[in-house]
Amino acid sequence: MNFRAILASLGIALAFCVQAPAQNLPADHPANALVKQYLDNVAKQDWKTVSAMLQPTFLERRRLSLINNVKNSETMSVEAAKLAMLGVKDVKELEKMTPQEAFIADREAVHKRMKVSPEDLKKKQETLKINVLGLVPEDGGKIVHALVRTSQDTTKVKIDELLLVSLVQDKEDTKKWFIVPDMQQPIATEIGTAKPAPAP
């Protein structure tokens, strides 16, 4: 996962907050440290550690999305190629994966296709700088959105990015927080139900 998950509609989201601005949370809020650990492990491509930081329901959504993506392949050869990249022999084996295993397999497959040189990867890890600019609470503080500026170098260029990282508080253990990477994506829910539907 590269640091490219910038919220395109950030300006719109902030505009809606003008009437009742939320107070920025203090720097010692647990979300601050977790965001830094998360981005640091993404840079290291330590997907096992990253998966432990992610919301379990997000991981399950990703697992189901991955399975559907493979099943909906244009041809059998394309499906076989996808399965090979994921390190499994067939769809049944993929379906037996835990959400964490599916996430790790997917991330490893994606980054293999990116073909980043070991020199560039090492340089990016060594030069990574993470600056949490602010933590904005939502839903009584049960959700936190972190605005983050990152900087890292490759052997040829310097990369600066502005990211929005969302976190949710664990319902069972209020001291625990999870990263939710897809929270910025639109979710359509049928009126009168709790079942999400694809956004139009």
pLDDT of residue 115: 82
192: left (phi over 0), alpha (psi -120 to 50) or beta: left
pLDDT of residue 18: 47
Taking the domains of the chain in order of start, what are their residue ranges?
Answer: 23-197
- pLDDT interval class at 184 (50, 70, 90): confident
Check whether 194 has a pLDDT greater than 60: no
Residues 146-155, mean pLDDT to the nearest whole number: 96
Mean per-residue pLDDT, 71-94: 94
pLDDT of residue 141: 94
* pLDDT over 90 (residue 147): yes
User: How much is the pTM?
Assistant: 0.80
**Residue 113 banded pLDDT, cuts 50, 70, 90:** confident
87 Rama class: left (phi>0) / alpha (psi -120 to 50) / beta: left
The average pLDDT across 59-69 equals 95
Specify the pLDDT at position 71: 95
Q: Which of these, 106, 128, 119, 122, lies nearest to 47 by C-alpha position? A: 106
How confident is the model over 129-137, as a mean pLDDT?
96
Distance in angstroms (rounded) separating the CA atoms of residues 169 and 55 = 9
